[in-house]
């Protein structure tokens, strides 16, 4: 313990938080990984970044701060996305790091104060801490009028960043070894196939780590996109945005993730009426063998929206790549119910921390 600088914990979204013991050298390695992401996204010493991530047991905010020091950038460490609008006008930040939903709420707050997000000093946004749909990224970029970069980080030691080529997240292969296993954890999968991300810590000979990972299951799923040189010039392999296994539900022998629900919500044409906030609850139907997915969507005014159009667009996108689910819908065994609520009307509204937007409440969980 005399060598341990800090004790950190994971967010605990998939159960009891896991403990990690970090030396100062571990922190320097973390900062190196995140600094690479910042550089690949075009950041430099002239940037001023608002960090909307908790400065607590999670490593994210502190890692960004240490990385910024390496690049001589300026950090504005609010830790949350509910700061007053004067911060934008007084300090003229060039970027904000936060989740999709925090950044959308901030945009609504600024508009209520008479400030147009796309006319502020913000030149790029970085989304980290959770997976997201490409549709929600596109909408966020449109609201703020700037590019949105993806960074995947974890307490376990992964820090993978998207570059300006937007062609996957670069894995720091000299600092962490990433394997992709099949869902049953029996064998590797081929590049291009989805599997669970398994990490092993890489250290220079003679160095130490507070917590050493050997074939550590992150409980996140991803796919290797390419091992060839990226158009940005970087040579490390690239992966797709990982998704949490805890946010995946299996129906009729096939999986879907919270991100798949989100993609249906953020369809073009929907967001004129919706805020983007949603929750989905999977449960048993009234008859045996029937499954119901209830999707609750927050909207500005439920009484004056095209409910049928939103339902149709959501359903079409959700079933687009899932012939098995579409067949079950046609057979009446899978029912998708879409409801509309006013702002603050969702069950997750007011919950502290990261809300669980996809919940499986079936009495009997199916075998995979």
Average pLDDT of 252-271? 94
For residue range 341-359, list pLDDT tens digits in order: 999 999 998 777 678 999 9
**Other beta carbons within 10 Å of 90:** 9
**pLDDT at residue number 14:** 60
On average, the pLDDT of the chain sits at 92
For residue range 12-24, list pLDDT tens digits in order: 666 688 899 999 9
Closest by CA to 190, choosing from 202, 176, 180, is 180
> What is the model's pTM?
0.91
In three-state form (DSSP H/G/I as H, E/B as E, the rest C), the secondary structure along 110-154 is HHHCCCCHHHCCCCEEEEECCCCCHHHHHHHHHHHCCCEEEEEEC
**pLDDT at residue number 328:** 95
Average pLDDT of 9-14? 72
β-pair partners for 360: 282
For residue range 229-250, list pLDDT tens digits in order: 999 999 999 999 999 988 999 9
For residue range 177-230, list pLDDT tens digits in order: 999 998 777 899 999 999 999 999 999 998 889 989 999 998 899 999 999 999
> CA dist 211 to 2, 251, 351, Å?
14, 37, 32
Pick the CATH number of 6-241 from 3.30.750.24, 3.40.50.12780, 1.10.357.10, 3.50.50.60: 3.40.50.12780
Distance of CA 70 to the CA centre of its chain: 25
Average pLDDT of 112-125? 96
Q: Which residues contact 282 (CB under 8 A, 6 or more apart)?
A: 249, 251, 291, 292, 293, 294, 358, 359, 360, 361, 362
Domains 6-241 and 247-360 share a fold: no
Delimit the domains of the chain by residue range: 6-241, 247-360
Average pLDDT of 109-130? 93
On the question of pLDDT at 71 being above 90, the answer is yes
Domain 247-360: CATH superfamily, name plus number: ANL, C-terminal domain (3.30.300.30)
Determine the Cα–Cα distance for residues 363 and 135; give it in Å rounded to an integer.
32
Determine the Cα–Cα distance for residues 157 and 197; give it in Å rounded to an integer.
12
Closest by CA to 311, choosing from 328, 331, 329, is 329
On the question of pLDDT at 367 being above 60, the answer is no
């Amino acid at each position: 313990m005399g060598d341990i600088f800090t004790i950190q914990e994971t967010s605990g979204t998939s159960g009891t938080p896991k403990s990690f013991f970090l030396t100062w050298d571990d922190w320097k390695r973390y900062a190196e990984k995140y600094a690479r992401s910042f550089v690949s996204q075009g950041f430099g010493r002239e940037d001023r970044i608002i960090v909307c991530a908790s400065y607590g047991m999670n490593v994210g905010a502190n890692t960004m701060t240490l990385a910024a020091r390496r690049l001589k950038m300026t950090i504005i460490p609010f830790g949350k996305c509910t700061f007053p609008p004067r911060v934008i006008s007084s300090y003229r930040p060039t970027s904000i790091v936060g989740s999709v939903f925090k950044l959308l709420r901030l945009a609504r707050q600024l508009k209520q104060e008479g400030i147009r997000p796309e006319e502020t000093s913000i030149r790029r946004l970085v989304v980290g801490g959770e997976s997201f749909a490409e549709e929600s990224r596109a909408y966020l970029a449109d609201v703020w009028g700037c590019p949105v970069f993806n960074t995947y980080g974890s307490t376990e030691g992964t820090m993978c960043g998207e570059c300006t080529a937007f062609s996957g997240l670069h894995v720091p292969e000299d600092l962490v070894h990433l394997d992709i296993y099949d869902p049953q954890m029996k064998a590797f999968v081929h590049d291009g196939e989805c599997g669970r991300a398994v990490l092993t810590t890489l250290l220079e000979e003679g160095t130490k780590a507070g917590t050493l990972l050997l074939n550590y299951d992150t409980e996140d799923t991803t796919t290797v996109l390419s091992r060839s040189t990226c158009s940005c010039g970087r040579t490390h392999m690239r992966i797709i945005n990982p998704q949490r296994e805890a946010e995946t539900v299996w129906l009729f022998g096939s999986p879907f993730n919270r991100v798949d629900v989100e993609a249906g919500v953020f369809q073009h044409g929907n967001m004129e009426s919706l805020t983007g906030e949603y929750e989905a609850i999977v449960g048993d139907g009234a008859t045996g063998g029937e499954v119901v997915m209830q999707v609750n969507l927050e909207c500005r005014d439920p009484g004056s929206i095209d409910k049928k159009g939103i339902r149709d667009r959501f359903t079409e996108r959700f079933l687009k790549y899932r012939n098995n689910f579409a067949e079950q819908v046609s057979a009446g065994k899978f029912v998708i119910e879409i409801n509309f609520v006013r702002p603050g009307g969702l069950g997750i509204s007011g919950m502290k921390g990261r809300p669980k937007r996809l919940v499986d409440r079936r009495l009997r969980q199916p075998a995979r």
